[in-house]
Structure 1
Amino acid sequence: MLSLATGRGIPVLEVMRPELDRIAGHDAVHQGLALKVPPYEYADAIELLDKTISRGQLPLLVALDGITDPRNLGAIIRSVAAFGGHGVIVPQRRSVGLTASAWKTSAGAAARTPVAMASNLTQTLKALKQRGVFVVGLDGGGDMSLHEFTLADRPIVVVVGSEGKGLSRLVTETCDTVVSIPIGASTESLNAGIAASVTLYEIGKLRAAKRK
């Protein structure tokens, strides 16, 4: 690794373990190596939608509402990549950003799945709706079961709330529909990453069936 860095003209600085822990962040697993890179450049949600449409693809996005655990963000990014999604939207406030921990949890998916930042999530969802995007919220007390949802043949943004608080009131009011995932009585709820994965899989399955 050192020879590769020096061969590419990348400066190398050797430090003690405590300093490396501080640089990488105490929640990161650095394995004795850290690379300084420019800050992540977040996409714009509307531009992300337009680029997806320009490629002839049917948009499938995931928006996060109040999710602060970077591992949930990383898991959702990974699921978006796995199930044919086109990007993730995170709010600028009261939400996790694309940290080193989120990047690691995504298992490389963050390198190919764009993440957009919304200064106001509710207004961004309204702007997406004006462009024909159907906004689907996930909540245990939804209007319908995920099994009953059939409107997969249109641009969709799935909105996922935190496991503890769920969707905020304004976001819930903005959704076109709110769906729930049926689970056993012995389980109170699913975490955000799993809920997003199940929903993306179901939407992908519906879309695949309509293409046949």
Structure 2
Amino acid sequence: MIDPTVPTVGVGPHPEPWPDDDRLDPALLAGGDRRNVVDRYRYWRLEAIVADLDDSRSRLHVAIQNWEHDFNIGSIVRTANAFNVAGVHIVGRRRWNRRGAMVTDRYLHVHHHADEAELLDWLRERGVTPVGVDNLPGSVPLETAQLPADCCLVFGSEGPGLTDSMVAGCDALVAITQTGSTRSMNAGAAAAIAMYHWRLQHPPVAAGMVGVADVE
């Protein structure tokens, strides 16, 4: 029995007759679509959504070092989905904490790399510039940095940050200027700021690509 005091998400069953569209999922049409997707993708099959997103992927990549099963990885992946990045790269342990991703990884192209060298080789082969995000000596303020269009923002694990090998392999290092008392901010928050900064410099070109993100 549905509790009327609990807010419902999404939409219920689609009225019949159903639209003749092979992008639509019969099970969702019949039972309703409660996923956290924009209205455009209501009732769409997962594969159809991914294919449509592929037509408007940004040129941005995001890489995350996964040495400590960091719960922030899921949050970063969810933000990466919001910016429709070209790819998410998990470096280190293959298994990562997906809880914060809220299944948004299903709509992304997620790559695994055993170590720093494997990621950096992958990026170089495709002309993607690795840019480390960490408040280390030699970092330049993110707010004054011009990020490449074909860029991979690289984030370390919460706490230890980027490894020395990753720092050595990045073409540049940027840091978010802070004026408070703590040395660093949450990795998930830092990633969101960095992705947004890239987007300000490289806005979507195609009509209809700019949208307002839902906040939960």
Q: CA deviation at 1:64?
A: 1.1
User: What is the TM-score normalised by the length of structure 1?
Assistant: 0.64
SS at match of 2:202: helix
SS at match of 1:208: coil
Q: CA deviation at 1:67?
A: 4.7
Contact 2:155 2:162 in 1 (8 A): yes
Equivalent residue number for residue 81 of structure 1: 81
Equivalent residue number for residue 45 of structure 1: none
Considering fraction of residues, name the structure with more helix: 1
Q: Let me know the Cα RMSD of the aligned residues.
A: 2.8
Deviations 1:32-74 (CA, angstroms, capped at 9, x unpaired)? xxxxxxxxxxxxxxxxxxx9xx957542111112453452111
Contact 2:127 2:150 in 1 (8 A): yes
Please tell me the residue identity of whatever aligns with 1:172.
Answer: V
Equivalent residue number for residue 158 of structure 2: 163
Equivalent residue number for residue 140 of structure 2: 144
User: What is the TM-score normalised by the length of structure 2?
Assistant: 0.63
Equivalent residue number for residue 64 of structure 1: 64
Q: CA deviation at 1:119?
A: 2.1
Q: CA deviation at 1:155?
A: 1.1
Q: CA deviation at 1:97?
A: 2.2
> Counterparts of 1:84-123 in structure 2 under 5 Å?
84-91=84-91, 93=92, 95=93, 97-99=95-97, 102=98, 104-123=99-118
State the alpha-carbon separation in 1 of the partners of residues 135 and 172 from structure 2: 13
Deviations 1:155-183 (CA, angstroms, capped at 9, x unpaired)? 11111012321111111010000000111
**Runs of 4+, deviation exceeding 6 Å:** none
Deviations 1:84-139 (CA, angstroms, capped at 9, x unpaired)? 32221112x3x46244xx1x321231221222111223232133123211110011
Please tell me the residue identity of whatever aligns with 2:95.
Answer: G
What are the ranges of 5 or more consecutive residues in structure 2 without an aligned counterpart?
1-26, 28-50, 207-216
Matched, 1:180 2:175: yes
State the alpha-carbon separation in 2 of the partners of residues 62 and 110 from structure 1: 13
Call closer, same or farther: CA 1:105–1:127 in 2, change over 3 Å: closer
> Counterparts of 1:29-44 in structure 2 under 5 Å?
none
State the alpha-carbon separation in 1 of the partners of residues 144 and 182 from structure 2: 21
Aligned-pair identity in percent equals 28
Q: Which has the higher contact order (CA 8 A, sep 6+)?
A: 1
Contact 1:161 1:167 in 2 (8 A): yes
Contact 1:162 1:191 in 2 (8 A): no
State the alpha-carbon separation in 2 of the partners of residues 179 and 210 from structure 1: 25
Matched, 1:201 2:196: yes
Equivalent residue number for residue 129 of structure 2: 134
1:191 pairs with one of 157, 167, 186: 186
